[in-house]
Amino acid sequence: MAATSDLGPGARLAEVLDARARRAGRSTGAVATVLAIAEAATAIAGLVRRGPLPARLGASSGHFGMDDERAASLALVADEIMLSVLRTTPTGVYASDEYADAIRLRPDGSFAVAVSALEGAGNMDIGGALSSLFQVHAVAGGAEDACASFLRAPRDMLAAGYVLYGPHVAMAVTIGQGTDIFILDPDSGQFRLVADRVAIPVATRQFAINTSNVRHWYDPVRAFVDDCVAGLDGPRGKDFNMRWSASLAVEAHRILMKGGVYLSPGDRRAGLMRGRLRHVFEAAPIVKLVEEAGGLASDGQRSLFDKVPAGMDAPTPLFFGAAEEVQRIEAVSVEPLPVRDVSPLFRARGLFSE
């Protein structure tokens, strides 16, 4: 094992996690579990690289033994890879957005792992980014309630992260000692450190939101965006850039590496008042990563870092990134109010005017 002082650009994932675990007094089992997820992600990256070409799962995934009959859904194949690898670890409970209920893997398992093994599989045909999201908890609850381990606040996670399958394969991971970024080295097959304990800037001039839903937003969100768009001449007194990739992991990666704030609000549409992102499978891992990187994550009313999800499929609004901007959103979003019938994007007076 490398000493903490020896860690630097190019350090292997195992070295970094071992050093972080020693510093935090964490179990080596949690490290082994994250390393297994990284192994699965490497195999998934092989599938993703083929794009829309016919799948050759046996060749791509090696000892995982997938066959062509199981390739009907790429997301399901990715999930099977994750599950196969985690069976070899001290994982006792497994939850996936591909299954209705959590699965008991072994009665003596110490860890509970929840994954979304392949987000954005529909981007395959257009060469868009795909991702895997994961979180690791200590097993909780009795044998009768496998889901209890995941109905806990992100603060309680032992580890969390995502793997982004884009021009290169990037992995963001935390085991409670900051957030580190790794890149998969195609020559060695190893994830190697490229950004050590990243820090999200407190202030930003970038925001990310899907503006096609502007007519459905509640007043606080619409006013926040109006004021950003108004730029130097508006109440914020500075110009903002807007980003939107329709990929949660891409937006999180940009914010971890370059700063910014992300907004995924609830809105007036039926079924979306409480948000559209799944708290457990999508929001929670990002919340843990962002908070460990010095940013903030909120549902618009309060911190998500300490919020317990209402259920495995419960949705949530999600605002994360630069602390100043998340605090602004919370300050003005006491209760959602219906959007006014007339609220032009470029109105003269904004929510943050004196």
- CA 195 – CA 329 distance, rounded (Å): 29
Residues near 4 by beta carbon (within 8 Å), at least 6 away in sequence: 19, 22, 23
pLDDT tens, the chain, 354 aa long: 333 345 788 999 999 999 999 888 777 889 999 999 999 999 999 988 877 665 544 434 444 443 333 334 788 999 999 999 999 999 999 999 988 889 999 999 999 999 999 998 767 777 788 999 999 999 987 666 889 999 999 999 999 999 999 999 999 999 999 999 999 999 999 999 999 999 999 999 999 999 999 999 999 999 999 999 999 999 999 999 999 998 999 999 999 999 999 999 999 999 999 999 999 999 999 999 999 999 999 999 999 999 999 999 999 999 999 999 999 999 987 544 444 444 444 344 444 443
Query: Can you give the pLDDT at residue 123?
Result: 75
Could you tell me the two tokens for 174? 């935390």
Which residue, 243, 215, 190, is CA-closest to 17? 190
- CA 345 – CA 349 distance, rounded (Å): 11
Could you tell me the two tokens for 343? 């609220």
pTM of this prediction? 0.88
Query: Can you give the pLDDT at residue 334?
Result: 56
The DSSP call for residue 99 is: S
- CA 277 – CA 267 distance, rounded (Å): 12
The DSSP call for residue 219 is: H
Which H/E stretch holds residue 227? helix 219-230
Which residue, 93, 139, 155, is CA-closest to 309? 155
Query: Can you give the pLDDT at residue 336?
Result: 46
8 Å CB contact between 264 and 319: yes
